[in-house]
């Protein structure tokens, strides 16, 4: 599987803040991550890909960023943009952030608000949207911030800004989110702790102005990307595949827990630890699935996987209820609306609400034949191409080009498993 996108972004960013050479194996070479690599170069780091496929980052240290002469272009990457806003906000430099049409529609206020409290200044379009210009704090102020949304991007942006702030920066979460930033900060030598506070809240506390030391990073396989061949194997009769080396970080494994509850034959094998991340192989066999109620508290651990879960739900017996997922409204597209529309176009009944949807499964009898508006969203495109594998008629997506942002070899890998594609996806 391609390297984990979340970990790849963070490896490049923290490598930039370390003093010396950081070696990265398995970096995802999708468009989103390559955009972050280029932005790190513009901020002063040396970032090179070697002939063996590994990467090297020669960092400038905390406080050592260079003011970029050109805008920082993040393409379609909300993760890259929001995390680097935190990085820049903690340094006394000015940078302009730009992205493609899809990213320019996405709200940045959830990151702008806490970073403004830390002393940064933003000049942005209405709604806090790109393009925007950010002037970092002089100096950054440590804050204690209770996040109003379950967002690892918000948490990570604050922690990255807090690296160049004196004293302790604290983020308080009601719902724990993916902890890749905390794990990697510890590996680079930062002093950071997470503990449960009053009322079950989680407090993450970072001591600022450390000297970060380079450490080798091996990026595990991306569980969000693995979701597509896994669901394809579950839905296509007679299938059996092994997916190797994906992270099963408990803050990322919610989809696999849910699929097993639905009756999926998924065997977890060869569990191990790589670079502080729990990693395993998965053996997946085609299965008859049943509808379930997905606990809203699980949403943060599988927020990117709901579109492909909805595909599995369409082939299951009975209803699958997915609530507490309002965050999907502000992803690369409105993923609740896009998923519901695509399901209806292929003969599936779905009940959409502001924060979720209920899918009425057809027990394997899915008509297909629909044409999907992807809204420039790679996960919508891949999800409905997977649906086409097991539907009675082929399914068409209006654009597959953006799949390269997260899974450059999606078409090639799925063809290797027996899938047939026609049209521009070739």
Any idea which residues carry the catalytic annotation?
304
Return the bridge partners of 267, or none. 283
d(CA 251, CA 253): 6
Q: Where are the alpha helices (DSSP H) in 43-179?
A: 78-89, 109-117, 152-162
- Beta strands 94-98; 72-73: pairing state: parallel
d(CA 144, CA 357): 34
d(CA 290, CA 231): 14
Edge-to-edge strand order for the sheet containing 317-323? 293-294, 317-323, 356-362, 350-353
What are residue 385's phi and psi, to 5 degrees? -65, -35
Q: Is the peptide bond before 139 cis (omega within 30 degrees of 0)?
A: yes
d(CA 285, CA 119): 53
Return the bridge partners of 49, or none. 55
Check if the beta carbon of residue 39 is closer than 8 Å to that of residue 72.
yes
Kindly state the tokens that stand for 302.
């599988």
Q: Is the peptide bond before 131 cis (omega within 30 degrees of 0)?
A: yes
Q: Where are the alpha helices (DSSP H) in 236-289?
A: 254-261
């Amino acid at each position: 599987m391609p390297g984990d996108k979340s970990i790849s972004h963070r490896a490049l960013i923290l490598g930039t803040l370390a003093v010396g050479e950081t070696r990265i194996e398995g970096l995802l070479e999708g468009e989103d991550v390559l955009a972050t690599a280029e932005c790190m170069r513009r901020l002063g780091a040396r970032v090179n890909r070697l002939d063996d496929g590994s990467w090297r980052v020669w960092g400038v240290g905390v406080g050592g960023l260079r003011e970029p002469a050109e805008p920082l272009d993040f393409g379609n990457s909300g993760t890259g943009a929001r995390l680097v806003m935190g990085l820049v906000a903690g340094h006394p430099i000015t940078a302009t952030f730009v992205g493609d049409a899809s990213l320019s529609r996405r709200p940045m206020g959830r990151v702008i608000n806490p970073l403004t409290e830390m002393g940064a200044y933003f000049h942005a379009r209405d709604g806090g949207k790109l393009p925007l210009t950010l002037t970092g704090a002089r100096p950054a102020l440590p804050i204690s911030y209770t996040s109003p949304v379950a967002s690892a991007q918000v948490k990570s942006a604050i922690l990255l800004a807090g690296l160049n702030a004196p004293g302790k920066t604290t983020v308080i979460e009601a719902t724990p989110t993916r902890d890749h930033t905390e794990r990697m900060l510890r590996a680079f030598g930062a002093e950071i702790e997470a503990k449960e506070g009053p009322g079950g809240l989680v407090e993450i506390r970072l001591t600022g102005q450390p000297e970060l030391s380079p450490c080798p990073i091996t990026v595990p396989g991306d569980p969000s990307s693995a979701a597509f061949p896994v669901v394809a194997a579950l839905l296509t009769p007679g299938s059996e595949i092994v997916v190797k080396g994906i992270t099963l970080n408990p803050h990322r494994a919610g989809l696999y827990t849910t699929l097993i509850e639905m009756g999926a034959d998924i065997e977890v094998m060869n569990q191990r630890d790589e670079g502080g991340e729990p990693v395993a192989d998965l053996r997946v066999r085609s299965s008859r699935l049943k509808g379930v109620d997905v606990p809203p508290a699980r949403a943060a651990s599988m927020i990117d996987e709901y579109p492909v879960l909805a595909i599995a739900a369409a082939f299951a017996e009975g209803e699958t209820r997915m609530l507490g997922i309002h965050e999907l409204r502000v992803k690369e597209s409105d993923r609740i609306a896009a998923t519901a529309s695509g399901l209806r176009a292929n003969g599936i009944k779905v009940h959409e609400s502001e924060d979720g949807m209920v899918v009425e499964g057809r027990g394997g009898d899915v008509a297909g034949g629909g044409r999907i508006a992807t809204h420039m969203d790679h996960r919508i495109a891949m999800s409905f191409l997977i649906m086409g594998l097991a539907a009675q008629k082929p399914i068409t997506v209006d654009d597959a080009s953006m799949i390269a942002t997260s899974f450059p070899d999606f078409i090639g890998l799925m063809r290797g498993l027996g899938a047939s594609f026609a049209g521009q996806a070739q």
